[in-house]
C-alpha cells in the first residue's frame, strides 16, 4: 500500500532486470546500507558488534555459499563447515608463511583453496546424485577436519592444536576494534552478496536452476551438467572458505579444527531452509534466525524460570526447537522466511486489491 508504481516503466532490458525494479525498493535499500555502514558502527555497542552482528554477517556469507550449491544448483551438501575450515586454515597459513602477504589477497586465496577442495569433493556429483552426493559431502566434512587435526603443519605445529589468527592489516591500517572489524566484514559480505545476486539473476544462475529443476531437459538443451555442477561447488566453497577465514580472523581470533563440526554444517543447512532455499535474502534472514534463536530461548528461560535451569536443559530444548522448526518449515513454507517476505510485498503492491 506504500507503493506508487504508476509511471515506473522500463525502456531497456537493463532496467527490466535490475535487482530492485521499483524506485521505492531502491531507496529503501540505499537507506539500509547507509544505516549499516554509518549508523550502526556509531551507535551499536561493542557486545552487539562482536557477539551478534559480525557473526551474523559471516554466517550469512556461509549460508549464501550453501544456498548457491543447495538452493540454486540443487546439490545437497553436508560439508559446509569443512569448507569453512579449509578457508580459515588456508588464510592462517598464507599469512603465516608468506611474509608481507596482504590480508585481502590471503582472503581471496583461502577462498580459492576452499573452492579447489570443494571441486575435488564435488567430482562424485558427476556420477551420483541426491542422497549419494550428500554422503560424499559428509566424507569431505570428516576428512577435512581429520586432516587439519592430524597434520600439525597446518597449525604451525602448535602443541595446543589451536591457531591464533594474525591481525587483519590493509594498507597499514589494522582492523582491530569491533567497529573496524564490523565494517570490514560488512563490506566484504555486501560485495560478495552483490556478486552472488548478479550470478543468480544472470545466465550462470539460470543454468544452475536448470540443472536443479530438470537436469535431463537441461542436458538436452546442450547445457554442460558437469561444468555447471562443479562450478556451483567451486563458487559455493569459495564463499564458505572466505566465510571460514573471516570466522577465524574477524570473529573468534583463535580456532581449532574441532570448531568446524558436522553440527555446524547442519546449522548452516538449517539457515537456508528456514531463511529460504534459492534466495539471496533468505541466506541473511536464515542466519539471523538461527543465531538469534538460542539467545532468545535462553533469555526466555531465564525470564521464566530464573537462573535455576542448567545449561544442558536449555541446550536440549534448543535442539528440539531447531529440529521441529525445520520440519515445520519444510511442511508449511518450504521457501522459508524469504517467501513470506516476498508474499507480503506482493500484497502491498496490489493493495487494496487482495490479488
Rounded to a whole number of angstroms, the minimum distance from the CB of residue 224 to other proteins is: 7
| β-bridge mates for residue 173, sequence order | 170
> Is residue 112 close enough to count as binding other proteins by CB under 8 A?
no
Taking the least distance from each CB to other proteins, the nearer of 101 and 326 is 326
Residues 21-60 binding other proteins (CB under 8 A) are none
Residues in contact with 45: Cβ distance below 8 Å, sequence separation at least 6, in sequence order: none
Strands 254-255 and 169-170: unpaired
Taking the least distance from each CB to other proteins, the nearer of 198 and 344 is 198
Residues 312-331 binding other proteins (CB under 8 A) are 312-313, 315-327, 330-331
> Is residue 6 close enough to count as binding other proteins by CB under 8 A?
yes
Q: Which stretch binds other proteins (CB under 8 A): 49-57, 165-173, 200-208, 244-252?
A: 200-208
> Is residue 254 close enough to count as binding other proteins by CB under 8 A?
no
Rounded to a whole number of angstroms, the minimum distance from the CB of residue 148 to other proteins is: 12
Rounded to a whole number of angstroms, the minimum distance from the CB of residue 91 to other proteins is: 21
> Is residue 104 close enough to count as binding other proteins by CB under 8 A?
no
Report yes or no: 110 and 90 within 8 Å, Cβ to Cβ: yes
3-state helix, strand, coil in the chain (%, to 5): 75, 0, 20
Taking the least distance from each CB to other proteins, the nearer of 9 and 43 is 9
Q: Which stretch binds other proteins (CB under 8 A): 105-113, 172-180, 194-202, 291-299?
A: 194-202
Site for other proteins (CB under 8 A): how many residues?
91
Residues 217-246 binding other proteins (CB under 8 A) are 217-224, 231, 235
Rounded to a whole number of angstroms, the minimum distance from the CB of residue 7 to other proteins is: 3
Taking the least distance from each CB to other proteins, the nearer of 65 and 178 is 65
Rounded to a whole number of angstroms, the minimum distance from the CB of residue 2 to other proteins is: 8
- CA-wise closest residue to 106 among 246, 256, 233: 246
CA distances from 66 to 25, 41, 124, 280 (A): 26, 28, 18, 11
Near other proteins by CB under 8 A: residue from 67, 80, 110, 204? 204
Rounded to a whole number of angstroms, the minimum distance from the CB of residue 99 to other proteins is: 29
Q: Counting every residue, how long is the chain?
A: 355
Rounded to a whole number of angstroms, the minimum distance from the CB of residue 157 to other proteins is: 13
Using CA atoms, how far apart are residues 180 and 201, in angstroms rounded to an integer? 32
Half-sphere exposure of 209 (CA within 13 A, CB side): 11
Quick one: cell of 15?
Answer: 532496467
User: Which conformational region is residue 171 in: left (phi greater than 0), alpha (psi within -120 to 50 degrees), or beta?
Assistant: left
DSSP 291-302: HHHHHHHHHHHH
Tell me how many degrees the CA angle 115-286-242 measures, rounded to the nearest 5. 25
Rounded to a whole number of angstroms, the minimum distance from the CB of residue 61 to other proteins is: 15
Using CA atoms, how far apart are residues 214 and 211, in angstroms rounded to an integer? 6
Residues 256-285 binding other proteins (CB under 8 A) are 262, 266, 269-270, 273, 278
Report yes or no: 139 and 146 within 8 Å, Cβ to Cβ: no
> Is residue 9 close enough to count as binding other proteins by CB under 8 A?
yes
Amino acid at each position: 500500500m506504500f507503493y506508487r508504481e504508476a509511471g515506473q516503466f522500463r525502456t531497456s532490458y537493463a532496467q527490466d532486470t535490475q535487482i530492485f525494479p521499483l524506485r521505492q525498493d531502491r531507496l529503501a535499500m540505499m537507506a539500509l546500507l547507509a544505516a549499516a555502514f554509518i549508523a550502526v558502527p556509531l551507535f551499536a555497542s561493542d557486545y552487539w558488534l562482536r557477539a551478534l552482528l559480525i557473526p551474523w554477517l559471516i554466517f550469512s556469507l556461509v549460508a549464501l555459499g550453501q544456498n548457491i550449491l543447495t538452493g540454486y544448483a540443487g546439490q545437497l551438501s553436508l560439508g559446509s563447515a569443512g569448507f569453512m575450515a579449509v578457508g580459515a586454515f588456508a588464510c592462517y597459513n598464507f599469512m603465516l608463511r608468506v611474509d608481507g602477504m596482504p590480508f585481502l589477497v590471503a582472503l581471496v586465496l583461502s577462498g580459492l583453496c576452499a573452492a579447489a577442495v570443494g571441486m575435488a569433493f564435488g567430482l562424485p556429483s558427476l556420477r551420483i546424485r541426491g542422497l549419494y552426493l550428500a554422503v560424499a559431502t559428509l566424507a569431505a566434512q570428516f576428512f577435512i577436519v581429520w586432516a587439519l587435526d592430524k597434520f600439525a603443519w597446518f597449525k604451525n605445529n602448535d602443541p595446543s592444536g589451536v591457531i591464533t589468527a594474525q591481525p587483519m592489516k590493509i594498507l597499514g591500517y589494522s582492523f582491530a576494534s569491533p567497529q573496524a572489524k564490523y565494517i570490514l566484514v560488512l563490506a566484504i559480505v555486501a560485495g560478495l552478496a552483490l556478486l552472488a545476486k548478479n550470478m543468480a539473476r544472470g545466465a550462470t544462475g539460470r543454468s544452475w536452476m536448470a540443472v536443479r529443476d530438470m537436469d535431463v531437459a537441461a542436458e538436452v538443451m546442450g547445457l554442460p551438467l558437469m561444468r555447471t555442477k562443479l562450478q556451483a561447488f567451486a563458487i559455493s566453497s569459495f564463499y564458505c572458505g572466505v566465510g571460514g577465514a573471516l570466522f577465524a580472523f574477524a570473529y573468534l581470533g583463535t580456532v581449532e579444527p574441532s570448531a568446524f563440526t558436522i553440527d555446524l554444517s547442519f546449522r548452516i543447512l538449517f539457515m537456508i531452509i528456514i531463511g529460504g532455499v534459492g534466495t539471496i535474502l533468505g541466506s541473511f534472514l536464515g542466519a539471523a534466525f538461527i543465531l538469534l534463536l538460542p539467545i532468545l530461548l535462553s533469555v526466555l528461560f531465564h525470564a521464566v524460570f530464573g537462573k535455576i535451569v542448567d545449561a544442558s536443559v536449555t541446550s536440549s530444548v534448543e535442539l528440539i526447537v531447531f529440529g521441529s522448526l525445520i520440519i515445520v518449515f519444510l511442511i508449511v513454507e518450504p521457501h522459508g522466511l524469504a517467501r513470506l517476505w516476498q508474499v507480503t510485498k506482493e500484497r502491498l503492491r496490489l493493495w487494496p486489491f487482495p490479488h
